[in-house]
Amino acid sequence: MTDAADPPPRSSEDAKGGESLLTVVIAFAANVLIAIAKTVAAVITGSASMVAEAAHSWADSGNEVFLLVAERKSDQSPDAGRPLGYGREAYVWSMFAAFGLFTAGAVVSIWHGVTSIFEPEAESSYTIAYIVLAVSFVLEGISFLQALRQTRANAARLHLRPLQFINRTSNPTLRAVFVEDSAALVGLIIAAAGMVLHQVTGNAVFDAIGSILVGILLGIVAVFLIGRNRDFLTGQPASPAIYNRALEALLGRPEVDRVGYLHLEYVGPMEVFLVAAVDLAGDFPEHTVAEQLRAIESALEQHEVVTEAVITLATPNQPSLEPNAEPLDTSLW
């Protein structure tokens, strides 16, 4: 937050969400093509690892639909019925996507791998499967590079490493695409290794184990995504550094003597709801005080991430808040 007396203009919501929408669209197109190719290869070869990979890609394709809905729903402007906006829709639909990844990806892959151990498929030519895996790796790589490019740009602006940004960001669709594409690339390597070991040893158990490992990988990713979406749905507070910036913005206003209470909570990707109690300088009539409080709220709401600000008067027994010594970290913006 910059000086409250001269806040930055609110950025365009289309510009803010457009990059994430492009990332999801690219991921969706890539996953549909990959899912079709893997399914054909799985039917021809009967490979357990390839079946797991096909299930993985179909799960990812379905998840991208949820993420597209998340982008569109959360992008709606606040209205009388939803004064805090529709930002939390992004976490709801991203949660659906994470559950889909767990059930349609992890559970199916593990189940098929376990059954294949007891009922292994017959020897077959894996040439088609290897070709499909190679093409899939290229397509997944294109999707991952788009997510990585967006992640690096945002992380660099906040002086963070990409993985730190992905873990902390309030943007659930970018996090989902980045993590799912990363898992997809690792899963392709696991599937290829399982098929190679099957061919070299003649033991189909290796292929089945590949399917189980892919499922476990997807389960870990799904649990991580579910946990982060749950955090934001249940009231993820802003980081100490963001808290500091908001407190400094309030204390920097000439009409504010002190701040007795301050709370910032995420209500959507890069959107926070700010509540504060302040002590105003001077002893003005009630209508003047009301105008001053509203002026402070309006100034804070000009910041691109503050969806709504509510400012009230502090009581005498509320201790004065002071910025702490936390290092600057705007990672949750």
The ranges assigned to domains in the chain are 13-233, 240-313
**By three-state DSSP, how is residue 49 classified?**
helix
Mean pLDDT of 158-174: 89
Q: How confident is the model at residue 175 (pLDDT cuts 50, 70, 90)?
A: very high
What pLDDT score does 274 carry? Answer: 95
User: Which residue in 310, 319, 316, 317 sits closest to 260, CA to CA?
Assistant: 319
Q: Structure pTM?
A: 0.80
Is 80 exceeded by the pLDDT of residue 325? no
- What is residue 314's predicted lDDT score, i.e. its pLDDT? 92
Other beta carbons less than 10 A from residue 44's beta carbon: 16
Span 167-187, mean pLDDT?
Answer: 91
User: Cβ(76)–Cβ(63) under 8 Å?
Assistant: no
Distance of CA 228 to the CA centre of its chain: 8
Q: At residue 52, does pLDDT exceed 70? A: yes
Mean pLDDT for the stretch of residues 277-288: 90
> What is d(CA 322, CA 319) in angstroms, rounded to the nearest whole number?
10
Mean pLDDT of the chain: 84
Range 13-233 has CATH code 3.60.150.10: no
- Is pLDDT above 50 for 6? no
The confidence band for 2, taking pLDDT boundaries of 50, 70 and 90, is very low
The H or E element spanning position 258 is strand 256-268
Taking each continuous run of H as one helix and of E as one strand, the counts in the chain are 10, 3
Q: Specify the length of the chain in residues.
A: 333
Angle at 42 between CA 37 and CA 46, to 5 degrees: 165
In contact, 329 and 240? CB cutoff 8 Å: yes
pLDDT at position 331: 43
Bridge-based pairing state of the strands 256-268 and 306-313: unpaired
pLDDT of residue 219: 93
Are the CB atoms for 278 and 256 separated by under 8 Å?
A: yes
Per DSSP bridges, beta strands 271-280 and 256-268 are antiparallel
Assigned CATH class of 240-313: alpha beta
In angstroms, rounded to a whole number, what is the distance separating the alpha carbons of residues 211 and 204? Answer: 11
Q: What does the angle CA 63 – CA 69 – CA 75 come to, to the nearest 5 degrees? A: 135
pLDDT at site 157: 82
Nearest residue to 44 via CA among 150, 124, 132: 124
The whole-angstrom distance between residue 41's C-alpha and the CA centroid of its chain comes to 32
pLDDT digits (tens, 9 = 90+) for 84-120: 888 889 999 999 989 888 888 888 889 888 988 887 7
330: pLDDT strictly greater than 90 = no
Contact 278, 311 (CB under 8 A): yes
| One-letter identity of residue 16 | K
- Of the candidates 137, 136, 139, 128, the residue with the CA atom closest to the CA atom of residue 42: 128
pLDDT band at 41 (very low <50, low <70, confident <90, very high): confident
SS3 of residue 88 by DSSP: coil
pLDDT tens, position by position, 86-96: 888 999 999 99
pLDDT single digits (tens) 185-237: 999 999 899 889 988 888 888 988 988 999 999 999 999 999 999 999 998 88
CA distance 327 to 165: 16
27 three-class SS:
helix
pLDDT of residue 12: 37
Task: Say which DSSP state 252 is in.
Answer: T
